[in-house]
Amino acid sequence: MIMLFRMGCRCLLSISKPQNIRLMTQIIDFPFISLDGRINDRDGKIDFHNPDDEILSFVNERHAAFSNHIYDDSTYEIMKWWENPSGPESKLEVIQKYTRIWNKTHKTVISKQLSGLDPDQYTVLPELTADALSELKQKASSDILIGGSDLTIAALNFGLLNRIDLMTVPVILGGGDSFFEKIPRTELNLLETRSFKKGWIFSSYEIK
What is the residue-wise DSSP string for 67-110? SEEEEEHHHHHHHGGGGS--SGGGGSHHHHHHHHHHHHSEEEEE
Asked if residue 17 belongs to a domain, the reply is no
* Ramachandran region, residue 116 (left: φ > 0; alpha: ψ -120 to 50; beta: rest): left
Q: pLDDT: is 25 or 8 the higher one?
A: 25
CATH assignment at residue 178: 3.40.430.10
| pLDDT tens-place string over residues 116-137 | 899 999 999 999 999 999 999 9
| pLDDT tens-place string over residues 157-191 | 999 999 999 999 999 999 999 999 888 899 999 99
Q: pLDDT: is 196 or 4 the higher one?
A: 196
Q: Taking CA 161 as the corner, what is the angle to CA 137 and CA 9, rounded to the nearest 5 degrees?
A: 100
Asked if residue 3 belongs to a domain, the reply is no
Asked if residue 16 belongs to a domain, the reply is no
Asked if residue 4 belongs to a domain, the reply is no
At 4, the pLDDT band (50, 70, 90 cuts) reads: low
Nearest in space to 123 (alpha carbons), one of 41, 195, 205, 132: 132
Report pLDDT for 149: 87
DSSP 117-163: --TTTEEEESSEEHHHHHHHHHH-SS-EEEESHHHHHHHHHHT---E
Report pLDDT for 199: 98
Asked if residue 18 belongs to a domain, the reply is no
User: Within 10 A of 112 (CB to CB), how many other CB atoms are there?
Assistant: 12
Asked if residue 155 belongs to a domain, the reply is yes
Contacts of 200 (CB under 8 A, 6+ apart): 51, 55, 167, 168, 169, 170
Kindly state the average pLDDT of the residues 87-114: 90
Quote the DSSP letter at residue 60: H
* Distance, CA of 193 to CA of 180 (rounded, Å): 19
| pLDDT tens-place string over residues 64-97 | 999 999 999 888 988 888 888 888 888 888 889 9
Domain that holds residue 99: 45-207
| Burial class of 174 by CB neighbour count within 10 A (0 to 12, 13 to 18, 19+) | exposed
Check pLDDT > 60 for residue 155: yes
At 9, the pLDDT band (50, 70, 90 cuts) reads: very low
Q: How many domains does the chain have?
A: 1
Asked if residue 15 belongs to a domain, the reply is no
| pLDDT tens-place string over residues 10-48 | 444 444 444 444 457 999 999 999 999 999 999 999 999
Question: 154 and 128 in contact (C-beta within 8 Å)?
Answer: yes
Asked if residue 89 belongs to a domain, the reply is yes
